[in-house]
Chains A and B, each alone.
Chain A
Amino acid sequence: MKASNGLWKDLLDGQISAQHAEEIDTFETEIELRQQDKVDEKVFAETRLRRGTYGQRYDNGQRHDGSQSQTLAFADKQTKGPHTAWDAPGMQRIKIPYGGVNARQLDVMAELAEEYSDGIVHITTRQDFQLHFIHIEDTPSLMRRLAAVGITTREACGNSVRNICGCPFAGVCPDEAFDVTPYADALTQFLLGHPDAQNFGRKFKPSFSGCAQHACGLAAMHDMGLIAETREIDGQLQRGFRLVVGGGLGAVPRQAKLFDEFLPPEELLPIAQAIARVFGRHGEKKMRSRARMKFLIEKWGMEKFTAEVREERAGLKEDPRWTEYLPGVDQDCESAKRPPGELPEDTTGDQRYAHWLKTNLREQRQPGYVTVTVALPLGDLTADQTRSLADIVREFTNDTVRTTVEQNFVIRWVSKADVPALYAALDKVGLSEPGASNILDIVTCPGTDTCKLGISSSRGLAGELRTRLAEKSFQMDQAIQDLHIKVSGCFNSCGQHHVADIGFYGVSRTFQGYKVPHFQVVLGGQWEENGGSYGLPIVAIPSKRVPDALDRITGMYLTKRDKDERFVSFVKRIGKGAIREALDDLTSDAPTPEQDPNFYSDWADPRQYSLGDIGKGECAGEVVSQYEFEMAGAERMVFGAQLQLEGGNPDQAGKDAYDAMLRAAKALVLMQYDDVTSDPEEIVEEFKERYYDTEIFFDPFAGPKFADYFFATHEQAGTPFTADSAHHTIEEAQLFIEAVHSCYNKLRSEPATT
């Protein structure tokens, strides 16, 4: 904890708005009250989450060191939340609406990273900043320093309206309908702390896109996605938004559904308010796993949801804020610092520079200007780089820089004449990485590095893939260079693996009685068109073999693609079965731990992967092999379900996914009761009694979620599947199977009881 914590309030006196100052004072008091045990730990946990102050891996005081679980000797104080030690370092999320920052704010971010964190500023897939290893008692000072430059962390986490995403190219993009920035800004201000947005069962994520075809705002995967459009009405060009609702990634992704084809700007704020009220009132509150808006829409259907929101809107009391910003939307809030220019001819012969010009520059709609993407490895930059970036932004622009959903920065309004000098300035501080938005620019969530839910090392894998790809990136075929890779440390999808050309998410498997980190390979997703379709997992590959898997997939694409065929179309044409076949041998023939201990640890982490968690099993041999046999069958069936879906047979696909769940459940039941038949009713009953009612199957974080998927699917058995519902059932079956694996591992690690 910082010795200077008592000083910042006075040092920044007069520099923080009264409202921010009061909010931070209140939070500081809440910290004190929790220390005195005058606030319940659960209430305090939600309070700090709504201030962006999050937990981090090992904050329960347990850490596996490769051979045993170690207790970290945090002082015996109050907790910060259930199972969360007070002194354990945590993560601070800092909301950056639509990614808009300025140089002064970057300077402060650099200072905070140095003084409170580990010297690294991290950009998330929702355009936020994140700092890690922060002490709870330092957070009020940190927040004051942010507030002094106009940044709030309010509602950065928790069951609230999260950061409002927006195209980083808004206002300068040649393809946009109009600049969404002022609308995103207005919605941010309006919903922040709004009383109608305080009673959600889960988070609520809005996003703005300037066009339908690109992915800069990823509107289709948001609770409320707004895509700018113009229409000629009565001879006049009018602005509006195509409003889609109920999208989301997470364990079970959903594409947002159309709510309004052309929402007029004056209806933007009231409709958002009405949606918030309906979601707050009717959204699930008890079962966290069904509490996102997508589940309410699924339960009600779009017709009912739309009608409820319209009715709510009609009853809202008029609020002047709904429209008072509108007269100002066309006043250009950004301008160029330097006159427009021409890009000087590149005579340097520098291949890296040429590559950077090709991948990191984008024409603005304003002639003579470009945007420059600063590509960050794994979304990270140092405090020194952050300060240098601030200087560069000041030198070449009028403070026009934004963060992106690909964990990069975009510098806007760069005169073409300045491009060589700007490149030189970036290069001097290690920020001239080429390959923005291509295969090198791998997006990843924090994974096992810092996230409590991480299963495999997403950052470790992304770092390894980057290193390998960078060696050959200049030589790669353009088709390969254009691919997007995204990695998540678990099924929760914070790395957005569903909308990548090639996605990965972390799972674990057991070989020879030892756990091995794996990644599911996810294919069929689409990055363009605002994340236009979601991929499905085809096979789990041991972590250390994922680079080989990537080589094979890209090799197949290169040799077997039709001319100009996009990757997503290639996967569809050639079929996931063929790709899986090409990867099959990577899933077997595991070396023994003696032959290759490396295989049993994760990337950039020498600890044996959860070895001590499982140990040698106590179960009888035949039961184990029967389990493995049944599980292999379940995995085959869920993959078969995908092939049925691909082949246009959604009903069969859904049935196969349900059968896969039954088979996986049976595998577990067999461990305790080997007379179980294949009768679905009996399997469900036995599973419920043995694993659900006893809570043995419950996930430490997700609780009964995965079992609930199984029961819900069983309830619906006999109802015909649509393409949509089959897709969801396949996702749920895959997650249920992963949960069966986890439960099995857990059981095998526990000593037999008498």
Chain B
Amino acid sequence: MELQHVNVKIFVDGDLSIDPAQFINVFHSWTAEQSCEELLIDVADYRHVPAGPGVVLVGLQADYAMDDAEHRWGLLYNRKAAAEGSNADRLIQAFRAAAKACERLEAELPGLTFSRQEFQIFVNDRALAPNRPETLAACQTDLTTFLESLLGHGEATITAESDPRRRFGVLVHTQRPFDLAALAGAAT
């Protein structure tokens, strides 16, 4: 099974304590500077929609969003272009891009902190990864490899998305905090 279009959402630690309007300014400055690896195109503001995509930085190969889906704010990296390598490589690429964006947001927006223990991974493609138990079984090894190579340990609880109509994905809760800065640094 080929996992493409991997999405990673790293949750905000606790409640969001800053005005989400600030994400608009930050994402516009990233676009002006073209300071991500992807070509950045525009910023879409969806703060008016409850539990929605929040503020989206639309790129060509990937989108970055401060996303409020299910009323949980977090940085979402949505890989749109197909990526090279193995499934584990693609999981790592998406996680690192998300971690790097979190690092930058924490630095640019004092008061904003992301969780070091909880994140979500999902595959944004129902044809490649339909949300059924067989998909989870088929990519269990890739997930374990990914978590081990990323965290240096495999001590994490994985909860699969149970609604078959939603995209295949897992919620990851690690036993010990991971080092976001180191993971973000590894992305460069």
Within 8 A of B (CB), among A101-134: 107, 110-111, 114-115, 118-120, 132-133
Q: Tell me whether A74 is interfacial, beta carbon within 8 Å.
A: yes
CA distance A89 to B63 in the complex (A): 12
Take A2-B5, A3-B4, A57-B42 as given contacts and tell me if A11 and B49 are in contact as well, using a CB distance cutoff of 8 Å: no
Take A133-B58, A382-B69, A384-B51 as given contacts and tell me if A120 and B46 are in contact as well, using a CB distance cutoff of 8 Å: yes
A533-553 vs B, CB cutoff 8 Å, 1 = contact: the mask equals 000000000000000000000
Stretch at the interface among A203-211, A601-609, A712-720: A601-609
Interchain nearest-CB distance for B167 vs A (Å): 7
Q: Tell me whether B31 is interfacial, beta carbon within 8 Å.
A: yes
Stretch at the interface among B102-110, B124-132, B137-145, B151-159: B124-132
A605-641 vs B, CB cutoff 8 Å, 1 = contact: the mask equals 1110000000000000000000000000000000000
Interchain nearest-CB distance for B30 vs A (Å): 11
Q: Tell me whether A578 is interfacial, beta carbon within 8 Å.
A: no
Q: Which residues does chain B contribute within 8 Å of A2, judged by CB atoms?
A: 4-5, 82, 125
Q: Tell me whether A381 is interfacial, beta carbon within 8 Å.
A: yes
Stretch at the interface among A63-71, A236-244, A343-351, A500-508: A63-71
Interchain nearest-CB distance for A54 vs B (Å): 16
Take A120-B49, A607-B28 as given contacts and tell me if A74 and B60 are in contact as well, using a CB distance cutoff of 8 Å: yes
B1-14 vs A, CB cutoff 8 Å, 1 = contact: the mask equals 01011000000000
CA distance A66 to B60 in the complex (A): 21
Take A1-B81, A384-B51, A604-B45 as given contacts and tell me if A118 and B63 are in contact as well, using a CB distance cutoff of 8 Å: yes
Interchain nearest-CB distance for A451 vs B (Å): 12
A74 contacts B39, C-beta separation under 8 Å = yes
B58-101 vs A, CB cutoff 8 Å, 1 = contact: the mask equals 10100101000110000000001110000000000000000000
A1 contacts B24, C-beta separation under 8 Å = no
Interchain nearest-CB distance for B78 vs A (Å): 8
A384 contacts B53, C-beta separation under 8 Å = no
A107 contacts B4, C-beta separation under 8 Å = no
A382 contacts B52, C-beta separation under 8 Å = yes
CA distance A120 to B127 in the complex (A): 20
Closest residue to A387 on the B side, CB-wise? Answer: B165
A380 contacts B46, C-beta separation under 8 Å = yes
> Which one of A4, A7, A88, A119 has the greatest number of beta carbons of chain B within 10 Å?
A119
Interchain nearest-CB distance for B18 vs A (Å): 15
Q: Which residues does chain A contribute within 8 Å of B43, judged by CB atoms?
A: 605
In this complex, the interface size class of chain A, counting residues with CB under 8 Å from chain B, is 35 or more
> Which one of B5, B21, B31, B127 has the greatest number of beta carbons of chain A within 10 Å?
B127
Interchain nearest-CB distance for B138 vs A (Å): 16
Q: Tell me whether B56 is interfacial, beta carbon within 8 Å.
A: yes
A118 contacts B41, C-beta separation under 8 Å = no
B58 contacts A89, C-beta separation under 8 Å = yes
Q: Which residues does chain B contribute within 8 Å of A378, judged by CB atoms?
A: 48
Q: Which residues does chain B contribute within 8 Å of A132, judged by CB atoms?
A: 44
Closest residue to B129 on the A side, CB-wise? Answer: A4
Interchain nearest-CB distance for B158 vs A (Å): 21
Q: Which residues does chain A contribute within 8 Å of B49, judged by CB atoms?
A: 120, 377, 380-382, 385, 430
CA distance A460 to B55 in the complex (A): 13
B167 contacts A89, C-beta separation under 8 Å = no
Q: Tell me whether B149 is interfacial, beta carbon within 8 Å.
A: no
A4 contacts B45, C-beta separation under 8 Å = no
Closest residue to A459 on the B side, CB-wise? Answer: B45
Within 8 A of B (CB), among A460-500: 460, 463, 466-467
CA distance A429 to B65 in the complex (A): 21
CA distance A66 to B42 in the complex (A): 13
Q: Tell me whether A262 is interfacial, beta carbon within 8 Å.
A: no
A66 contacts B32, C-beta separation under 8 Å = yes
A65-88 vs B, CB cutoff 8 Å, 1 = contact: the mask equals 111001011100000000000011
Q: Tell me whether B25 is interfacial, beta carbon within 8 Å.
A: yes
B48 contacts A65, C-beta separation under 8 Å = no
Number of residues on chain B facing chain A (CB within 8 A): 42
Closest residue to A376 on the B side, CB-wise? Answer: B49
A111 contacts B48, C-beta separation under 8 Å = no
CA distance A354 to B39 in the complex (A): 48
Q: Which residues does chain B contribute within 8 Å of A73, judged by CB atoms?
A: 34, 39
A1 contacts B52, C-beta separation under 8 Å = no
B125 contacts A115, C-beta separation under 8 Å = yes
The residue that A111 contacts in the complex, of B2, B44, B81, B126, with Cβ under 8 A, is: B126
Q: Which residues does chain B contribute within 8 Å of A111, judged by CB atoms?
A: 126
Q: Which residues does chain A contribute within 8 Å of B42, judged by CB atoms?
A: 57-58, 63
CA distance A114 to B167 in the complex (A): 9
The residue that B124 contacts in the complex, of A114, A430, A467, with Cβ under 8 A, is: A114
Q: Which residues does chain B contribute within 8 Å of A63, judged by CB atoms?
A: 31, 41-42
B127 contacts A118, C-beta separation under 8 Å = no
A463 contacts B51, C-beta separation under 8 Å = no
B4 contacts A65, C-beta separation under 8 Å = no
Q: Which residues does chain A contribute within 8 Å of B133, judged by CB atoms?
A: none
Within 8 A of B (CB), among A1-56: 1-4, 7-8, 11
B127 contacts A11, C-beta separation under 8 Å = yes
Q: Tell me whether A308 is interfacial, beta carbon within 8 Å.
A: no
A118 contacts B44, C-beta separation under 8 Å = yes
Closest residue to B27 on the A side, CB-wise? Answer: A606
A382 contacts B48, C-beta separation under 8 Å = no
A433-447 vs B, CB cutoff 8 Å, 1 = contact: the mask equals 000000000000000
Closest residue to B40 on the A side, CB-wise? Answer: A72
Take A73-B39, A463-B45 as given contacts and tell me if A3 and B50 are in contact as well, using a CB distance cutoff of 8 Å: no
Q: Which residues does chain B contribute within 8 Å of A88, judged by CB atoms?
A: 41
Q: Which residues does chain A contribute within 8 Å of B39, judged by CB atoms?
A: 72-74
Q: Nearest 4 A-B pairs (CB), nearest first?
A: A430-B50, A4-B127, A65-B32, A3-B4
Known pairs A384-B51, A606-B28. 5 more at Cβ < 8 A? A4-B4, A63-B41, A67-B32, A110-B165, A604-B45
10 contacts between A and B (CB under 8 A): A2-B5, A3-B4, A57-B42, A66-B32, A111-B126, A115-B126, A119-B56, A120-B53, A385-B52, A606-B28
